[in-house]
Amino acid sequence: MVNTKVSLCGIELDNPVIPASGTFGFGYEFAELYDINILGSLSFKGTTLEPRFGNPTPRIAETHSGMLNAVGLQNPGVERVIAEELPKLRAVFSKPAMANVSGFSVEEYVRTVERLDTAPGIGWFEINISCPNVHGGGMSFGTDPKSAETVTRAVREVTKKPIIIKLSPNVTDIVSIAKACEAGGADGVSLINTLMGMRIDLKSRKPVIKNKTGGLSGPAIKPVAVRMVYQVFEAVGIPIVGMGGISTAEDVIEFMLAGATAVEVGAHNLVDPFASKKIIEDLPRAMEKYRINSLTEIIGGAH
């Protein structure tokens, strides 16, 4: 019998598969389809201090082997998340969840984490310093090591829960950003967020997405993600949550060999709402095929 359990920042998961923020709502929506307690955990919809409508439409476009999105962190704001969304999640999900937090200033990150810190059922904070689809915040903190470290230190001071910093691939050197986050007190890093991309409509001769650019996700970005996880693993001593184009159990194993302790499934949840469930159920088969007794044994195994 194979062992799919892993430990992420001191919290044990039944398996390493976590639906990525922005692709799984607040989780309870998927509980109408299947028992979401099969998941290792879930990272719920990115939450900001104040409500956000997001970017104007159209804000999603298909591409070859992926999709572009510029949703722009649409969410009801932290107070409504605590009062309305999290109780619905807790009613159907008994495991610790990951709270994905975004902000437009260091103060906003801090205040949002402070409010969520006492909410029941949160195991980790995933601090998103890498969203490419908002103006004046998000990715601007994730493209400079000093800014990344500043946000990390500020959040570290207001919670004792593990903090995992979500990194942007839209940088020259992701290793320097990861090392800065570790120096600032991060318990882990998650990577990668989406790559900047664009599509142009041939008839209108204008960008397909109203925001002009969007974040590219899906299988197209997987080789970039695996490479970055591999590089960061060699540079830091904290756990990595890998993501980018994961759609099969074999993809999970590949990311773990590169150095990931756990993984997040993103765009594929939008292709198939049962995607994360299917990957988890198929993991034992893939492990037996590649003679893996325990997933913890293969973390960083390609190095």
Query: 131, 178, 216, 228: which is the annotated catalytic residue?
Result: 131
Backbone conformation region of residue 139, classed left if phi is above 0, alpha if psi is from -120 to 50, else beta: alpha
CA 268, CA 290: separation in Å to the nearest integer? Answer: 24
pLDDT by position in tens, the chain (length 303): 999 999 999 999 999 999 999 999 999 999 999 999 999 999 999 999 999 999 999 999 999 999 999 999 999 999 999 999 999 999 999 999 999 999 999 999 999 999 999 999 999 999 999 765 555 555 568 888 999 999 999 999 999 999 999 999 999 999 999 999 999 999 999 999 999 999 999 999 999 999 999 999 999 999 999 999 999 999 999 999 999 999 999 999 999 999 999 999 999 999 999 999 999 999 999 999 999 999 999 999 999
pTM, two decimals, is 0.96
Contact by Cβ (8 Å): 85, 44 = yes
ω before 58 within 30° of 0 (cis)?
yes
Q: Is 131 a catalytic residue?
A: yes
Structural domains of the chain ordered from first start? 6-55+72-198+215-298 (3.20.20.70)
What are the tokens at 179? Answer: 């090392």
